[in-house]
């Protein structure tokens, strides 16, 4: 976008700088223009881009246009080529403006002498004499102000919070706040007492709206919580309710979870004009989760592989749906099997030998894929021959698997975990990290937790449908409970413990992974850290503290104790008590002696 300033072209463009969007300001060097740009509070100069720039926001954009328009108008009273957002239609407003109507459009913009770096926010503007041409209209959360040119008035209006000059309509737009209202009245004495009170009431409704929050917390399974917000908050009704209690620390009410009471509260406050935010679920049926059926999921998955593979993949997927495989397994197996079909062709699958399958797996292994991915390909192929077409002559036992490796789980020290847990400021993200580390649950198990799965008094969390479709109980630590008290008060989840942005679906698994990665970076941990690493840390640190490995097996949901025993190879409980034979030789004194000499 090009703008004319003092008959010279100034180019505005969106650029990526320092990993953020910036508003670049380019012009043929002119000291007068440079001084003008320097008067902007957030401006910076980039040697890399050889230009000035501002944060790429609407407020900064409008402030820049207003400044340029002002400078042009002071010298030549001409308009810029750029425009900004339109104001609402003049015939749609509150009607609270005064009797001073505009008889003609003002032609003078606000003025700041020589554009010097004077702090107009601290200066006390002179009282201006009210002109018959001044108009102030409250509409849609903003004041729209038209007034004849006066340098002091211009500086005063520029100093107001979130104000800018609208080029198209030649008026000032000022955020409608009680503070701005008070300043405008002090300067212009525009409204009479009745109209001023009307404006004040409307603005307070915008600034501090009348809202009722209804939500649940596992801390109070037999009650629902209620918070009243707004300038018109009514508490007398709540005081008359039976068995209610007030929690002053959280500024909320505790009310028995009865449908009749809930309906009574909602009806009262709806009649009083309050906005109701109801997140109370008395029964599971109150929360409707829109999920795709298996058939819809299957059709969506098939669209990723093209029409040629659709018939055979449909048969393959139907078999896994009948066997009640998890959808993650279905997606993973289908992807691997689709590659197998493309390699040999559908018509040849019934004739393949185990030797040919092993040759195919060798080509996959040559691509330097992980051992886990290679096992996935093998499982997907074996499932087809064992469960889909039932080829009795296909010798499954001859399909070769990679040689088992013995890798130790990735770990963090307790000090590193502590730094991670302290590194974040977002309460929701903090709660996720606490939940992962305090209970050792898997990522998907974390996302599946609902409010009703938390047993507050028993200090337990029910993990439903874990790996292998097994339910189990894990611990609810006291530290996590303290965090959850504030989490439920701030985020008020309705069904899932961690909800997505729509308030209905689960939180994204990818987002949790990014949260863990961010915490590790902030904690200056250079190794790769994932949610599963925190699970390994939980098991190992529990073992370090002397917890019996069989209890750890139950908490982790391992089917075989051998899976849990891998943590005995990384625990330092016994290693710390052992001494190396070299320690008995006392060789350290030799170097100490040489150092003294």
Catalytic site positions: 442, 467, 532, 535, 558, 567
d(CA 392, CA 386): 8
CB neighbour list of residue 261: distance below 8 Å, 6 or more residues apart: 241, 255
Of 396, 388, 293, nearest to 333 by C-alpha is 388
Q: For residue 49, what are its two tokens? A: 């881009």
- Measured between alpha carbons, how far is 441 from 475 in angstroms, rounded to an integer? 10
Q: For residue 93, with 0-12 CB atoms within 10 Å meaning exposed, 13-18 middle and 19 or more buried, which class applies?
A: middle
107 contacts 77 by C-beta, under 8 angstroms: yes
Beta-strand pair 163-166/171-175 = antiparallel
Say if residues 74 and 116 touch (Cβ distance below 8 Å).
no
DSSP 520-589: HHHTT--S---HHHHHHHHHHHHHHTT--HHHHHHHHT-SSHHHHHGGGGT--TTGGG---GGGGGTTHH
Task: Classify residue 506 by its DSSP letter.
Answer: B
Q: What is the DSSP letter of 287?
A: S
* Phi–psi pair at 251, nearest 5 degrees: 55, 55
Helices (H) and strands (E) in the chain, counts: 21, 17
Where b means 16+ CB within 10 Å and e means fewer, 175-203 reads bbbeebbebbeebbebbeeebbebbbebb
Question: What CA–CA distance (Å, rounded) separates 210 from 311?
Answer: 57
């Amino acid at each position: 976008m090009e703008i004319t300033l003092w008959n010279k072209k100034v180019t505005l463009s969106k650029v990526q700088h320092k990993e953020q969007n910036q508003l670049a300001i380019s012009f043929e060097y002119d000291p007068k223009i440079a001084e003008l740009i320097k008067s902007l509070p957030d401006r910076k100069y980039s040697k890399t881009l050889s230009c000035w720039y501002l944060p790429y926001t609407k407020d900064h954009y409008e402030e820049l246009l207003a400044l340029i328009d002002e400078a042009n108008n002071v010298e030549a009273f001409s308009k810029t080529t750029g425009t900004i957002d339109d104001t609402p239609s003049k015939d749609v407003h509150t009607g609270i403006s005064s009797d001073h109507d505009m008889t003609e459009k003002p032609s003078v913009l606000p003025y700041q002498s020589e554009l010097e770096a004077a702090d107009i926010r601290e200066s006390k503007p002179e009282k201006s004499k009210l002109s018959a041409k001044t108009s102030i209209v409250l509409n849609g959360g903003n004041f729209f102000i038209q007034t004849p040119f006066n340098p002091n008035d211009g500086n005063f209006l520029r100093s107001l919070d979130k104000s800018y000059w609208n080029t198209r309509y030649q008026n000032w737009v000022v955020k409608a706040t009680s503070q701005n209202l008070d300043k405008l009245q002090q300067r212009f004495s525009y409204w009479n007492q009745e109209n001023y009170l009307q404006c004040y009431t409307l603005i307070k409704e915008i600034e501090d709206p009348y809202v009722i929050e209804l939500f649940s917390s596992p801390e109070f399974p037999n009650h629902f919580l209620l918070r009243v917000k707004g300038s018109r908050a009514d508490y007398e009704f709540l005081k008359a309710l039976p068995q209610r209690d007030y929690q002053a620390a959280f500024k909320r009410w505790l009310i028995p979870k009865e449908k009749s009471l809930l309906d009574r509260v909602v009806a009262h406050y709806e009649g009083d004009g309050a906005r109701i935010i109801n997140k109370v679920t008395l029964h599971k049926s109150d929360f409707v989760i829109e999920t795709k059926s298996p058939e819809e999921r299957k059709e969506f998955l098939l669209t990723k592989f093209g029409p040629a593979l659709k018939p055979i993949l449909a048969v393959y997927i139907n078999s896994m749906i009948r066997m009640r495989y998890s959808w993650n397994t279905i997606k993973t197996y289908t992807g691997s099997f689709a590659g197998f079909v493309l390699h040999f062709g559908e018509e040849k699958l019934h004739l393949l030998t185990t030797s040919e399958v092993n040759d195919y797996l060798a080509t996959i292994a040559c691509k330097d894929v992980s051992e886990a991915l290679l096992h996935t390909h093998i499982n997907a192929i074996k499932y087809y021959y064992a469960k889909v077409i039932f080829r009795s002559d296909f010798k499954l036992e001859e399909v070769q698997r990679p040689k088992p490796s013995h890798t130790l789980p990735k770990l963090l020290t307790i000090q590193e975990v502590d730094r991670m847990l302290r590194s974040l400021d977002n309460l929701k993200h903090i709660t996720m990290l606490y939940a992962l580390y305090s209970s050792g649950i898997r990522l998907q198990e974390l996302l599946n937790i609902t409010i009703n799965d938390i047993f507050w008094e028993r200090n337990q969390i029910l993990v439903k449908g874990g790996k292998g479709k097994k339910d189990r109980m894990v611990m609810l630590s006291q530290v996590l409970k303290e965090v959850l008290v504030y989490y439920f008060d701030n985020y008020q989840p309705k069904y899932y413990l961690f909800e997505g942005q729509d308030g209905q679906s689960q939180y994204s698994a990818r987002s949790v992974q990014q949260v863990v990665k961010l915490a590790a970076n902030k904690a200056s941990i250079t190794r790769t850290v994932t949610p599963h690493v925190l699970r390994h840390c939980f098991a190992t640190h529990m073992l370090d503290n002397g917890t019996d490995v069989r209890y750890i097996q139950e908490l982790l949901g391992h089917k075989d104790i051998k899976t849990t025993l891998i943590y005995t190879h990384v625990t330092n409980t016994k290693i710390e008590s052992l001494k190396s034979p070299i320690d008995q030789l006392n060789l350290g004194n030799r170097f100490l002696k040489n150092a003294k000499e």
